Structure 1
């Protein structure tokens, strides 16, 4: 739903325990005991008709008998009673409830209307916007206010980490694990079955929670992909979000009509979604909390190049091995760095990375070496490894090195090997905010977490345009082919049809012709020119090579005739019932140095279309070298997909084999991404092999499966991430000029800074309600990197004489997730006021909200902002003074 009324869940003033009890080991008794023992300051109301008092508190027979509507109700009663209790609470005015009861989704227990008890509870809550956590959950804990609304076996320590789990078992296990290590929480939440409150709602709430500095998720599945991705992307912009996703091991390839459908497993897709949202995936509970600590102190500099300094060769080698295994880079030392280190280290030093400064190193040698490595532009971080010696106490080294490490512009990670001898040194580093680890492997793992997190944050900033990589004519051709196939009752396109679709989107394909029989194949081969390849054309054969249905390098008519005859005989023997539509003949692509790649599309049941790239060929499922990404893609995202495969190293060139044309591969990925967005009927696509070499790319074979699409929804609704809405761009005449009105894009950042700089201090205060001298990077990102599914910012731009655009006005609106109310703001460059630009922007904004079905536009203005107040009055807004807030409320009903 949204964040509406979640404040009653996390900051209630009163709590009711429905089903409270004295029965030993019952949920009702445990919850009441936990609520009272945790120190909650507000009234607590036990509810159970069997008791007059419980734990010294007056007890009420039912929710309707309570003296006031509790802010939060905890329901611990049998499943059949829950819908009635929810309705009573809603009628009384309660706005949040935790349903601990299980069994509400049992098909055998339905109400008089045939609904499951879960649906009946949701229907009972909806008229009152009563938010439900659960059912079948452990509850929640908010240590900062002494709230333990759970049946967990232990309380949580206070802290600044929010933990959200779908698994009740993980809730209690992590709670116990964290208490033993002194780790505290701002919120500790068990989601249960997420009938109402889900990951998306909680991410939205926790993103703006001042008590939370990091968010940890234990995830088993996501049900509303668009909502989850929007919320996750917003939260990850403001604080670290880490995900421990269950179910990493594949359960076996799915039945699919393509390699892509089999390879793009659910875990790969979740991995792609987590990466695209700017979150970090970890593999263990310990990694999760370790990463929180690491990221809390990490510098913004990314990259995977690590310089290692050590006072012992063995630990340095261990760190280098761990780095290589994790896919990091051990950069070579430049000549300048070698010379600088030669000047401060003894002749026996390693003269390579890892930098072994020798076990007898005094304090000054540590300082000199670290200073040189921090000045080296070829590394992104320095790992400091120390094993205790009798020469210099470890604590003395730590005290000397910590100020330099703390003040460095890049990350310095410490690794203090040993126990008591280095305990003080480790404490000194930790006190200065320098992350320290017990082993080289732990330190390298932490470094790679930083590198991956920064990469994911970079991907988060990408908002790909929905710009056509082909013209509308090409799109119409592809859509026409698909419609014709579906009209015939088919779901699999023939190879020529599939290649026609790819060609329409500008993807190079090898020339292919269709032949009805063997002799026709010979004629087509002569027309194309030898050598040729011949393949069977059958809707019943998924992989032609499995039945000997492919013949290559045929250089004469007789060779074509012989090969075609043999493959038809084999087909009849191996697949006697298979339909045969004829043969295809295509020119042989003679590219001896080309790499075989696969590019494809699969449809995930949760996240919709996903793009796959990797090493191709007949053994594609065996090599399993692939990367998965969510559309829409731009060049940065497509290049990242390529870089995450092993074949990327081969594509970079080696020995006498030149590099492949990566730009051409990237274009194909973007074109396929556009195809997936444009054609809602596209279910699966394989381009395998896509040959790639230094001269470009060409698709040798293609397979496409289609299915009827939901005509009631927009084709873009299938995508987990909404692309840049190019369809909202328009040209308008204003004040003798032609302006462009369009949604804002991330690349508008520099122009937006210039726009902000052109505002007077009063105009800034009118917009932001406080005086702000300059925009911080985080504020600029928030203004320009928006999620088009839940907010919109239209900017007015005009061309600059030397090229580029100048931003001269912006109108912004943010809707609640239910699209009931949207809050607006409008700002015009200070020196251009009074010419009607604000009205142009507001009319654009109002039309957009009407088209989306928004019910009301609202806003707040300072009373001194008379221009905006006058403008919105003319547009039909109601203007209501709000003296308590020293502001004016503005509202425009749209329904």
Structure 2
């Protein structure tokens, strides 16, 4: 069975992609080129002309007729031919006028090398804003300012003032620090490391990490991407680009700032536990990005991931000819999450046949000090078949009876074991160097010490876990529509609190908020006198708890605001009076506003904290972990970005030590994890639905084998003077609930048309199996044929369809019933591709639904959503013989063009545009007014 691929994006002028004119320009102007020795302008021009890139270089300097013997021009306008790339090295004060010249001459890209912008203060920031406004109007894309430039060894372009031109390779390096790039280039020469691209992005006025990642994801010369990051930039764009790219190419990042630099709200338990570094870790995991700790790890991992497959688990088999290194390897492995594989009996039997009787008979596999090349090779061949082994480390120490080079040659034929990486540690100096080279040349990464190899293996497992765990499925569904039912009630409550001028909700109000989203809470009765409290207790039933009701005091226990286990009315009245006195003494009389009376929960359970706070870069952040009064002491917690789905919620649970206890321990029954996951998902929806919430803690959430209940909750809102448009946005766009609707088909049956969910993977697999893809509708052009060819359905296709990034694509599914079973009857997608305001679309329905008008109704809804998402135009290229598809498009308002040489008919539909679909960087104002592009499409009605 074959399936359709996603819409094609690369039918641009002469097959070019938008940033090709940056990385492979035909005409380059250097504005500020000069003969002055030691100047940036001279170095940059010399680099361009010393490294042939197949284009023309124009020095621009109004004060000189020639620069380095090349005819100079007064301005960009004076340059003959259309300039693709302008490199600006003039003083900051002159840059706005230079950028205006670029816009007037329709230059596509500019690299601003010049410094002196926002990094120097308000005056520089004003200059940068002016440059941004000019570039936006002219559709000019900018790298920088304050950057080193870019180098593209695959095209020969050196548009930088670096001293070295690196050799060609498959690693793309993107850095915010120009000094880091020069250091890496110097190191790369001695280490013979090659690059597909080296990019200094500077202050990221326009193009940032995401812009480059989107381009490099489809660059055939790039096999892996490494990043040196100081700030993430636009978080939503970065995560969007990284999530898409990491499915096919590894992204490895080193980020400075492990210390907690985030401002913390002292009143928030969650805020005190979610430092900026922990949140960044969570973001990188969510995007499938591997974070490393050192620059050597950065390039080491890029090299390893290009040579060896990722392990499917953390179990390593260690072969060694010395016991000590094997022990060190075991320690290094276990210290960072790895494990020594337990060999199957069959493997032990096989090793008995090829090794001397004195071998270790376990893992590490000590092949003994006199091991020959054959011993090594036969041992590796035996353990390679063991299903308990996820990877292999071969250690050799130079001993009298061991030949390092011969052993390496014997092992080299095992460099490619399906799905299992092979690493080596050839310990020693000159004697082992030739053998290490043999292994490296064969594609087996080799290390001086075994602990270094184990660190690499653990990184590989961590990266594989990041990729796979994000796309796991569990058989648990959360009814998001039911969750949304309480949204209006919650909004009214928050509106009422904000209108009163308050930002802190009382406990009673906080619990009403949770209850609206189906999160279980304990009963809570307000009382404003001892008598009222006693009466409420009598009606509720003893024992009870009294808690302070206050709109100003955050932590009740600090002022004696919680009294437990009250069994009589007298005890309740006394507790009321004692609490009032204590609050007045320790805080203020105004802080006491009565009490809440709640039942005393006597079920033995675990105290959990479930909370949310704001990260300055990534917006709302969720926290789950061990709760209670000592929450900051235990610090057993996991951090994640909303929105959560059941799988991501489970992943949060598993990252805590508490998780094992929740499964049941020491006589305590297991907690209903499905119910807990439901609560976590509902909580994440609440946080995204109500951006007015600044902080929220449920602490404790008591979980036992009998029930899960919120005993206490605290909600802090943003100040009333914070406008809705200024409220922090989530770094991952939440599920668009408002796009769910029910439609009538032509036969009077109904289907639900809604955005897709990860849980739909099973139904989508069934849908593709039942649907057919009409002849003549396959893509017109494929930017990467190996990736985009029409092929048998695989998991990656389902991931791209079901785990959709709503910031870039909207996938609608028509959910209905056939033969009494719920199924997907049709699916349609609109997608905004890189650097375009237009969208492509794809559409497919079951053959049984074509006469019911389902295809037409999905198409109309896609057009409507394209407008709501801000698309300027929907475009398609359809084979001319596919008359049915062409009639279908004409019937929906598409204008058809003339058939081209490839027998493709262009079709387009103009749409009134609003804010952009998946806008790149709205905060910087450079996302709008881009030129439309021509894109390819698959169409099936």
TM-score (norm 2): 0.87
2:625 counterpart residue number: 614
Number of the residue aligned with 2:54: 41
Q: State the distance in 2 between where 1:324 and 1:868 align.
A: 58
- Shift of the alpha carbon at 1:824? 2.5
CA distance in 2, matches of 1:507, 1:5: 48
Q: 1:794/1:484 Cα in 2 relative to 1: closer, same or farther (>3 Å)?
A: closer
1:876 matched to which residue of 2? Answer: 893
Q: Which residue of 2 aligns with 1:56?
A: 69
Matches within 5 A, 1:235-384: 235-251=245-261, 254-333=264-343, 348-384=358-394
Residues 885 and 259 of structure 1, relative CA distance in 2, 3 Å threshold: same
Distance 1:334 1:48 in 2: 74
Shift of 1:804: 4.8
2:821 aligns with 803
Kindly indicate whether residue 807 of structure 2 is the aligned counterpart of residue 789 of structure 1.
yes
Residue 215 of structure 1 corresponds to 225
Pair 857,586 (structure 1): closer, same or farther in 2 beyond 3 Å: same
Q: Which residue of 2 aligns with 1:684?
A: 695
1:570 is aligned to 2:582: yes
1:372–1:548 Cα change, 3 Å: farther
- Specify the SS of the correspondent of 2:186: helix
The superposition leaves residues 64-123 of structure 1 with CA deviations (integer Å, 9 ceiling, x where unpaired) of: 322233211111111111111111111112111111112233787769xxx811121122
1: CA distance, partners of 2:182 / 2:91: 22
1:106–1:116: 8 Å Cα contact kept in structure 2?
no
Instruction: Describe the superposition over 1:800-825 as per-residue Cα deviations: whole angstroms up to 9, x where unpaired.
Output: 43735255x44332224676311233
Say whether the 8 Å CA contact 1:531–1:588 is kept in structure 2.
Answer: yes
Q: 1:549 to 1:47 in 2, by over 3 A?
A: same
Q: Distance in 1 between matches of 2:88 and 2:589?
A: 60
Judge which range, 360-369 or 868-877, deviates more: 360-369
1:854: which partner in 2?
A: 871
Q: Is the 8 A contact 2:485 2:517 kept in 1?
A: no
How do 1:408-447 and structure 2 match up within 5 A?
408-447=418-457
Which residue in 1 is equivalent to 2:547?
535
Aligned counterpart for 1:190 among listed residues 179, 183, 200: 200
Per-residue CA deviation, residues 538-573 of structure 1 (Å, 9 max, x unaligned), is 333222222333333344445445544444333333
CA distance in 1, matches of 2:122, 2:723: 35
Matching residue of 1:75: 88
Query: TM-score, normalising length from structure 1?
Result: 0.91
Partner of 1:705: 716
Q: How many residues align?
A: 889
The match for 1:24 among 23, 27, 37 is 37
Match of 1:181 in 2: 191
Q: Aligned equivalents of 1:865 and 1:252: distance in 2?
A: 57
Q: Which structure 2 residue ranges, 5 or more long, are not aligned? A: 1-9, 11-15, 783-788, 913-941
**In the TM superposition, what is the alpha-carbon distance from 1:271 to its structure 2 partner?**
1.3
Aligned equivalents of 1:654 and 1:835: distance in 2?
Answer: 56
Shift of 1:342: 5.6
Corresponding residue of 1:85: 98
Q: For each residue in 1:692-737, what CA deviation from the matched residue of structure 2 results, as whole angstroms up to 9, or x when unmatched?
A: 3333422222111112598766999545233265733534314676
Question: What is the DSSP-based 3-state SS (H/G/I as helix, E as strand, rest coil) of the residue aligned with 1:811?
Answer: strand
Q: 1:262 to 1:476 in 2, by over 3 A?
A: same
Candidates 494, 500, 503, aligned match of 2:515: 503
Name the SS of the counterpart of 1:685 in structure 2: strand
> Once the two structures are superposed, what CA deviation does each residue of 1:379-415 show, in whole Å capped at 9, x if it has no partner?
4323333333333423333333343452344233323
> What is residue 242 of structure 2 aligned with on the other side?
232
Instruction: Write the deviation string for residues 440-490 of structure 1: whole angstroms up to 9, x where unpaired.
Output: 221221111111111211244369998427445433333332222112111
Instruction: Supply the distance in 2 between the matched residues of 1:818 and 1:317 (Cα, whole angstroms).
Output: 53
Q: 1:238: Cα distance to partner? A: 2.3
Equivalent residue of 1:64, what SS? coil
Unpaired segments ≥5 residues, structure 1? none
Secondary structure at the counterpart of residue 90 of structure 1 = helix
SS in 1 for 2:247: helix
- Give distance in 1, aligned partners of 2:764 and 2:301: 34
The Cα of 1:768 is off from its aligned counterpart by 5.5
Q: Contact 1:222–1:606 at 8 Å: present in 2 too?
A: yes
Residue 631, structure 1, aligned to residue 642, structure 2: yes
Listed one character per residue, the Cα deviations across residues 286-336 of structure 1 (whole Å, up to 9, x for unaligned) are 111111122223435422233333332222221221222112334544566
Mapped partners of 1:726, 1:299: distance in 2: 42
> d(CA) in 1 for partners of 2:462 and 2:907?
44
Match of 2:525 among 502, 513, 532: 513
Deviation at 1:509, TM superposition (A): 2.3
Q: Which residue of 2 aligns with 1:488?
A: 500
- Tell me, in whole angstroms, the C-alpha distance in 2 between the residues paired with 1:769 and 1:835: 32
Candidates 705, 708, 731, aligned match of 1:694: 705
Deviation digits for residues 187-207 of structure 1 (CA, Å, limit 9, x no counterpart): 111111111111221121111
- The answer (yes or no) to whether the contact 1:15–1:43 under 8 Å persists in 2 is yes
2:536 paired residue number: 524
Partner Cα distance (2:353, 2:665) in 1: 36
Equivalent-residue separation in structure 1 for 2:349 and 2:805 (angstroms):
50
Q: CA deviation at 1:870?
A: 1.6
Describe the shift of the 1:788–1:641 C-alpha distance in structure 2 as closer, same or farther (beyond 3 A). Answer: same
Q: Distance in 1 between matches of 2:554 and 2:568?
A: 28
Aligned to 1:886: 903
Shift of 1:230: 1.6
Indicate conservation of the 8 Å contact 1:165/1:191, yes or no: yes
Quote the Cα distance in structure 2 between the aligned partners of 1:356 and 1:501.
Answer: 62
My pick for the range that moved more, 430-439 or 56-65, is 430-439
Q: Which residue of 2 aligns with 1:105?
A: 118
Distance 1:382 1:666 in 2: 36
Asked whether the 8 Å contact 1:532–1:555 carries over to 2, the reply is yes
* Partner of residue 785, structure 2: none
Distance in structure 1 (CA, Å) of the matches to 2:726 and 2:854: 32
Once residues 30 and 901 of structure 2 are traced to their aligned partners in structure 1, the CA distance between those partners, rounded to angstroms, is: 36
Measure how far apart 1:278 and its partner are.
1.2
CA contact (8 A) 1:632 1:677 kept: yes
Deviation at 1:888, TM superposition (A): 1.1
For the residues of structure 2 that align with 1:758 and 1:504, how far apart are their CA atoms?
40
The farther-off stretch of 503-512 and 870-879 is: 503-512
- Structure 1 distance, partners of 2:798, 2:526, is 56
Q: Which of residues 807, 830, 851 is equivalent to 1:813?
A: 830
Q: How far off is 1:755 after superposition?
A: 5.5
Structure 2 CA distance for aligned equivalents of residues 759 and 553 of structure 1: 63
Given that 2:308 and 2:443 are in contact with CA atoms closer than 8 Å, whether structure 1 keeps it comes out as: no
Deviates more, 1:149-158 or 1:239-248: 149-158
d(CA) in 2 for partners of 1:722, 1:97 = 34
Distance 1:48 1:652 in 2: 72
Give the aligned partner of residue 549 of structure 1: 561
Are 1:150 and 2:160 an aligned pair? yes
- Give the one of 729, 735, 742 matched to 1:730: 742
Q: Give the SS at the match of 2:503.
A: coil
Kindly indicate whether the alpha-carbon contact (under 8 Å) linking 2:321 and 2:371 is maintained by their aligned counterparts in 1: yes
How do residues 621-770 of structure 1 correspond to structure 2 at under 5 angstroms? 621-707=632-718, 708=720, 718-723=730-735, 725=737, 727-734=739-746, 738-746=750-758, 748=760, 763=775, 766-767=778-779
**Structure 1 residues 319 and 566: alpha-carbon distance in aligned structure 2, compared to 1, 3 A threshold:** farther
**For 1:596-622, what per-residue CA distance to the aligned partner results, in whole angstroms no more than 9, with x for missing partners?**
221101122332211111222223223
**Contact 2:312–2:419 (CA under 8 A) maintained in structure 1:** no
Whether 1:597 aligns to 2:608 is yes
Kept in 2, the 8 Å contact 1:767–1:827? The answer is: no
CA distance in 1, matches of 2:481, 2:820: 27
Measured after TM superposition, the shift of residue 851 of structure 1 is: 2.6
Please say if 1:120 is aligned against 2:137.
Answer: no
Q: 1:658 to 1:97 in 2, by over 3 A?
A: same
